[in-house]
Amino acid sequence: MQPRGQPPSAPRPGPARPYAPPWALLLLLLTLRGAAVPLQDPAVPLQGPRGTDVPAPPSWAMLQQAARVALHFFNFHSGSPSELRVLANVQTGGWQVDPRRGYHINLVFSTESYHLQDGKPRLGKCFARVFFQNQKPRPAITMTCTGLSEKNRTLQEDHLLYEQLKQMKDALTVSSIPDDYGNIDPSMRPIWDLAVLGSSYVMWERTTQFSYYYPLQLSRVKQWKTSDHAIDFDYTVLLHEFPTQEIVPCHIHLIWYPGKPLKVKYWCEEMQTPVEASSGTEEGSAVALTEFSNF
């Protein structure tokens, strides 16, 4: 696979970094033991709670979605462009359904680091509980992951990245990363990594049990301000939406500093549903939504 970017140094394996209090973790593990089955074949039905009259189990596709959205959540909360992780494989999945409220999905899945070390991604594992509330977006997630870099190491790498980003004077001239042929200029890669980090928040908020997203391209940089306290980055990312296949432009404004929680504000352009003729611009008609933010 194409190198996704080389970090300054190889991080050492570190302790698990939980995102939930220890008692919740114990509860999670107990739940997993009770309701999980190993998944070998998407045709094999999953076990639900015994003796309950439940609707159809989540499909294999939904389990993949649950794992992906859990990783968006992880990436956003880690606030670290150096520690971005992607889905490798869903290993076990269990589920409980509340007909009135939605699906609780328990997952164990393997991950890979977005950045390669010595030409190979670093492997990891996550245990997650994802609650899709009846087709609403922004699923509730508790999770813990192993195989991550040691915390100080990550912070160090983030600081190095920060220094690189501070040097960038021509960020405003960026028109697309990657270009139409999939190229990313190595000097521009830190911008892409930061853009993906910000996109994670948006993708987590938009994902439902049916729709999921991938970031395809950074199409425009509107604002780029750097200082000793933060990178202030305003940009447009094109998200690929499944299953509609639409390309959704999202305008994201983020403020980042290594080790600090990521701040994100955004709005996405939505396609209008009526058949009435619009101006038919490439991005579709822009309907400004209420700004979403965690500022």
Partner 1 sequence: MKPLLGTLYLLGMLVPRGLGYDRSLAQHRNQVVDKTGSLWKNLETYSYNKYHPMEEIYLWMSQISEKHAEVVTQHLLGMTFEKRPMYYLKISQPSDNPKKIIWMDCGIHAREWIAPAFCQWFVKDILQNYKDNPRINKFLRNLDFYVLPVLNIDGYIYSWTTDRLWRKSRSSHNNGTCFGSDLNRNFNVSWCSIGASKNCQDLTFCGTEPVSEPETKAVSGFVESKKQDILCFLTIHSYGQLILTPYGYTKNKPSNHEELIQVGQKAANALKAKHGTNYRVGSSADILYPTSGSSRDWARDIGIPFSYTFELRDDGTEGFLLHETQIQPTCEEAMEAVLSILDDVYAKYWLSNTATKVTSTTVLLNLLWLFTSLL
The verdict on 42 binding partner 1 (CB under 8 A) reads yes
What letter does residue 149 receive in the DSSP assignment? B
Stretch that binds partner 1, among 26-34, 134-142, 223-231, 268-276 (CB under 8 A): 268-276
Pick from 259, 287, 257: nearest CA to 271:
287
Stretch that binds partner 1, among 11-19, 57-65, 101-109, 223-231 (CB under 8 A): 57-65
Which are the contacts of 234, defined by CB distance < 8 A and separation ≥ 6? 221, 222, 223, 224, 251, 252, 253, 254
- Min CB(42)–partner 1 separation in Å: 5
Backbone angles phi, psi at 102, to 5 degrees: 150, -160
Q: For 248-292, give the DSSP string.
A: EEEEEEEEE-TTSPPEEEEEE-----S-S-----TT----PPPPE
What letter does residue 118 receive in the DSSP assignment? T
Q: Which of residues 78-97 bind partner 1 (CB under 8 A)?
A: 86-87, 89
Binding mask 118-157 for partner 1 (x = CB under 8 A): ----------------------------------------
Q: Site for partner 1 (CB under 8 A): which residue of 238, 255, 262, 264?
A: 238
Distances (CA, A) of 240 to 245, 266, 294: 6, 16, 23
CB-wise, 231 or 237, nearer to partner 1? 237
CB-wise, 5 or 94, nearer to partner 1? 5
CB-wise, 141 or 196, nearer to partner 1? 196
Residues forming the site for partner 1 (CB under 8 A): 1-2, 4, 42-43, 59-61, 86-87, 89, 114, 178-183, 210, 214, 216-217, 238, 240, 242-247, 271-273, 275, 277-278, 280, 282, 284
